[in-house]
Amino acid sequence: MSPTGVAFQKQVDALLNELSDCIGFCHQIRETRRLGSKHENFDNLVSYLLASHTSLSTKYDTLRECFGHRMDVGDEASVASMSKCLRAVSSDIKKKLYEIANKTVQTVGARQLSGFSTLLQHWKLIESDASSIIISLSQRLIITPPVSTPVPSPTPSLKQGSQLRSNQQVVSKSDFDFLISHVQNSWIERWSNEQLIYVNYQDDKNRTYQKPDGFIKTVPTSYRPARTEGLIGSKSSHDGLNERERRSHAYTGSNGSRREEYRRQ
């Protein structure tokens, strides 16, 4: 039996909000802490969190276009599993970054602030679980007919077709396989060390500097890569984005409390 309301959609939105908060704390750490000359682990964490926000958001939106309201509702298995991901992000990743961002003692010299590498490894596990939960739900929806769909009876096909809701559509197995293939052959264009790099959104470890075949989400023509000492993105280049893309950026001010919104093309 499926949960009432749009429980799964709310969980996905909550996960993306938690991730945006984590990115905001990273901006605050960069602004208010002395990271020292060595901060590769911190840079890797920030870069991965930004890529994860885009990847999870795109994956959910793509599958929702296929399965409509049923993807928003989810089922008991998906809701229960996603709850564990939310608790893990809130109690570990977000909590730790908040504590680092609000410490009064700052780090000086070449030593790195501790914990960023561990946080990155933990987040990778959480993201992998969340991605699998979304994919697994869509696969169950293929073989599970909507609750409102009646048992097929010898009635005219026109009448049967009228039973489908306006926000639902039938997806064949071949169409779904094509969709998954498209997802696996999609790439996100990003700046890395002032060079363009292409990251496969299905597998973030699959990266190339050569422009690959397939669908590519390009960076805005007005975008310029931020320097190491600056923040990622700018407020003026993100006007008009949809709500979920804006959540991926955090405005940062002199007090480090405002966050800039992240843009997804």
> Is 1 part of any domain?
no
Q: Give alpha helix (H) positions in 33-152.
A: 40-67, 69-73, 76-88, 95-101, 116-143
Q: What length is written for the chain?
A: 265
pTM recorded for the entire structure: 0.53
Q: What is the pLDDT of residues 13-51, one digit of tens each?
A: 999 999 999 999 999 988 887 666 668 899 999 999 999
pLDDT at position 207 is: 84
Higher-confidence residue of 161 and 36: namely 36
262, β-bridge pairs:
247
Position 172 scores a pLDDT of: 77
Rg (CA), the chain: 21
pLDDT at 103: 78
The parent domain of residue 83 ranges over 7-146+171-246
**Domain membership flag for residue 254:** no
Measure the CA–CA gap between 60 and 68, rounded to whole angstroms.
11
Q: How confident is the model at residue 153 (pLDDT cuts 50, 70, 90)?
A: low
Does residue 204 sit within a domain?
A: yes
Asked if the structure places residue 57 within a domain, the reply is yes
Domain-located, residue 159: no
Pairwise pLDDT comparison (82 vs 198), residue with the higher score:
82
Does position 167 have pLDDT exceeding 70, yes or no?
Answer: no
In a domain, 213, yes or no: yes
Burial of 81 (0-12, 13-18, 19+ CB in 10 A): middle
Confidence of residue 122 (pLDDT cuts 50, 70, 90): very high
Residue 188 within any structural domain of the chain: yes
Count of structural domains, the chain? 1
Q: Give domain status of residue 165, yes or no.
A: no
pLDDT one-digit tens code per residue, 182-230: 777 888 888 777 788 888 877 877 888 888 877 787 776 655 555 544 3
- Residue 59 confidence (pLDDT) above 70: yes
User: What is the torsional sign of CA 227, 188, 219, 125?
Assistant: negative
Average model confidence (pLDDT) across the chain: 75
